[in-house]
Amino acid sequence: MANQPNDYLYQLIRSLSKAEKRSFKIYALRSSSEEAKFIQLFDAIDKAKEYDEDLILQKLEGVKKTQLSNLKAHLYRQLLTSLRLNYTNHNIDIQLREQIDYARILYDKGLYKQSLKILDKAKLVAHDHHRVPLSSEILGFEKLIESQYITRSFDHRADNLIDETQEVLKSEEQYHQLSNLALRLYSLYIKTGHVRNEADYERIHAFFEQALSSIQPEKMGFYEQLYLQVSHAWYNLIVQDFLAQYRHAQKWVDHFRNHPAMLQADPIWYLKGMHVLLEALFILGHYDRHKIEMQNLKTFLEHPPSRSNTNLETLGWQYYYTSQINHYFMNGHFEEGTQLIPALTEQMDTWNYRIDSHRILVFHYKIACLYFGAGDLHKCIHHLGHIIQYPDPHLREDLHCFARILTLIAHIELGNEQLVQYQVRSTYRFLRKMDDLNSVQEEVLSFLRALPHTSEEQLQRKFKKLHTELIKIQSKPFQKRAFLYLDIISWLEAKMNHTSVQEVISAKFAARKPH
């Protein structure tokens, strides 16, 4: 067994490409030999299938266990230094920080004019790439030099620096206000999902309006405009205004498409915008637009505007698989959709230490829904179990709640009425504890609780009654979220018409498509 399966050094080495490993060996051997202990450690970990310190120590002659910690720390620093050199020509932030470091060295040597010359060039690059925090840092450094030494670089130097600083400070203030707002809203969504009632809506609406009250749109730079659209997209997702979410997600994506240089400099934000846009199109049911944007996402991932990296690849496959699954949800081809699952689960297992827990839960729920639609109820229950057994029920509370309800429905389909009787009570208690019991859940749980005592003659009448009630609820504000997670209405229609969920949703899709 691995002593530390989440060891940072092991993870870093696992993340390296062949080219990066080759570059590291060239870098390390410039001042060391193959016999250097940290190079031996690198080779030992690189060849290991899992991180096992005892096994690694056996391959390192003359290294005691007490020395291993320091050796690992040294190797970790050497790897990061090598990677920094490797990434310098491909990352504008690293390039700018390198120039700031050079300026600091020249400053410490008393070569003030040379230092200022480098800073002045770096400031122009930072401005062109909208790196507001770095622009502020560069200006601070310039003022430090000017306040201590008379460089006589040109007249009115002090006034110009003060004016530039004031301008950057205004921009930086809005930059942080809007980035904080976007992060706050995203965190809120991850924790609780959509608003549940009028009180939830009033609270989030008041917070959002207050946060935007001091923003000056006419003085926004690239990233301030980006964070404004991001904030609107998250806010409208939370309050279930999906049309507004789509509009702001489209503006988010177009913002990058209208600034190709920024798309090259910061492709991750564009990738995230594509994901949010695809999610909005899925919720709105815009199948053809969803198909077009999914192809755009695929093209972007196959031909990124700058050198690809592991972060881009990892997020890319998550977002692309999500959009593919949603596509099958829209057209009702669940059995065809299940063919994605082996490759998806392989990716999840391979990169489990890189994928956040929220994304893992979402994938398990979507996989479970695919299997439910395809009629493979045992696999559906298996994947829902990953969510139900997750130790923190407050991470995506909404997923935890609907996973339990879908599990009950799957057991009903399997004929496990006695198990359902017990689990209905358990689920009801859980939803009460989470303060998440809404009208849809109340109706469904009441229906399921009475089902074991319902005769065959009464069954169709009960299905129709629940169907009628849910149609009414669906038209009410703040009740849409239940139908986003579980197409309970299509399930009821399948039961009423003695057909499958897949056939019902496929028929609805065919009816919507223009002929």
Asked, for residue 51, whether it belongs to a domain, the answer is yes
User: Cα-atom radius of gyration of the chain, to the nearest Å?
Assistant: 28
Looking at per-residue pLDDT, the higher value among 451 and 216 belongs to 216
Q: What is the pLDDT of residues 230-289, one digit of tens each?
A: 999 999 999 999 999 999 999 999 999 999 999 988 999 999 999 999 999 999 999 999
Asked, for residue 240, whether it belongs to a domain, the answer is no
Q: What is the pLDDT of residues 110-159, one digit of tens each?
A: 999 999 999 999 999 999 999 999 999 999 999 999 887 765 555 577 88
C-alpha span between 159 and 167 (Å, rounded): 12
Q: What is the CATH number of the domain that holds 370?
A: 1.25.40
Asked, for residue 508, whether it belongs to a domain, the answer is yes
Domain match, 444 and 505 both: yes
C-alpha span between 379 and 363 (Å, rounded): 14
| Average predicted confidence (pLDDT) for the chain | 88
Query: Which range (3-7, 43-47, 253-257, 326-330) has the least confidence?
Result: 3-7
Long-range contacts of 473-477, Cβ-Cβ distance < 8 Å, separation of 24 or more: 473/439, 473/440, 473/443, 476/439, 477/198, 477/201, 477/240
Asked, for residue 486, whether it belongs to a domain, the answer is yes
DSSP state, residue 340: G
- 233 Cβ partners below 8 Å, 6+ apart? 245, 248, 249, 252, 276, 280
Report percent pLDDT > 90 for the chain: 52
Structure tokens at 162: 């003060």
Domain match, 385 and 507 both: yes
Using the 3D structure, point to which of 123, 153, 183 is the last residue of a domain. Answer: 153
Asked, for residue 106, whether it belongs to a domain, the answer is yes
Which residue's structure tokens are 């964070």? Answer: 227
Q: How confident is the model at residue 42 (pLDDT cuts 50, 70, 90)?
A: very high
User: What DSSP assignment string belongs to 51-96?
Assistant: --HHHHHHTSTT--HHHHHHHHHHHHHHHHHHHHHHHGGG-HHHHH
Using the 3D structure, point to which of 45, 64, 89 is the last residue of a domain. Answer: 89
Q: What is the mean pLDDT of residues 177-184?
A: 95
Domain match, 139 and 53 both: no
Between the ranges 54-68, 74-88, 243-257, 466-480, where is the mean pLDDT highest? 243-257
pLDDT of residue 153: 53
pLDDT of residue 4: 41
Asked, for residue 193, whether it belongs to a domain, the answer is no
The domain total for the chain is 3
Residue 437's nearest CA partner among 400, 392, 383, 488 is 400
Domain match, 417 and 439 both: yes
pLDDT of residue 65: 87
Q: What is the pLDDT of residues 292-301, one digit of tens each?
A: 999 999 999 9
Domain match, 342 and 479 both: yes
Domain match, 58 and 128 both: no
* Amino acid found at 233: A
Domain match, 105 and 44 both: no
DSSP H or E segment with residue 287:
helix 287-302
Q: What is the pLDDT of residues 15-27, one digit of tens each?
A: 898 999 999 999 9
Q: How confident is the model at residue 357 (pLDDT cuts 50, 70, 90)?
A: confident
Q: How confident is the model at residue 206 (pLDDT cuts 50, 70, 90)?
A: very high
The count of other CB atoms within 10 Å of the CB of residue 136 is 18
Domain match, 99 and 84 both: no
Q: How confident is the model at residue 7 (pLDDT cuts 50, 70, 90)?
A: confident
DSSP state, residue 378: H
Whether 1 has a pLDDT exceeding 50, the answer reads no
Using the 3D structure, point to which of 153, 176, 197 is the last residue of a domain. Answer: 153
Asked, for residue 297, whether it belongs to a domain, the answer is no
Structure tokens at 228: 């404004």
Domain match, 372 and 468 both: yes
pLDDT of residue 184: 95
Whether 51 has a pLDDT exceeding 90, the answer reads no
Asked, for residue 470, whether it belongs to a domain, the answer is yes
Domain match, 473 and 382 both: yes
For residues 410 and 372, the answer to whether their CB atoms sit within 8 Å is yes
Q: What is the pLDDT of residues 362-420, one digit of tens each?
A: 999 999 999 999 999 999 999 999 999 998 887 777 788 889 889 988 998 898 877 88
Domain match, 344 and 467 both: yes
* Amino acid found at 462: K
Structure tokens at 242: 């999906």
Q: What is the mean pLDDT of residues 59-65?
A: 85
Structure tokens at 151: 């460089």
C-alpha span between 287 and 310 (Å, rounded): 30
C-alpha span between 106 and 112 (Å, rounded): 7
**Residues of the domain holding 29:** 8-89
C-alpha span between 505 and 439 (Å, rounded): 23
Q: What is the mean pLDDT of residues 210-233?
A: 92
Length of the chain: 515
Domain match, 141 and 41 both: no
Secondary structure of residue 356 in the 3-state scheme: coil
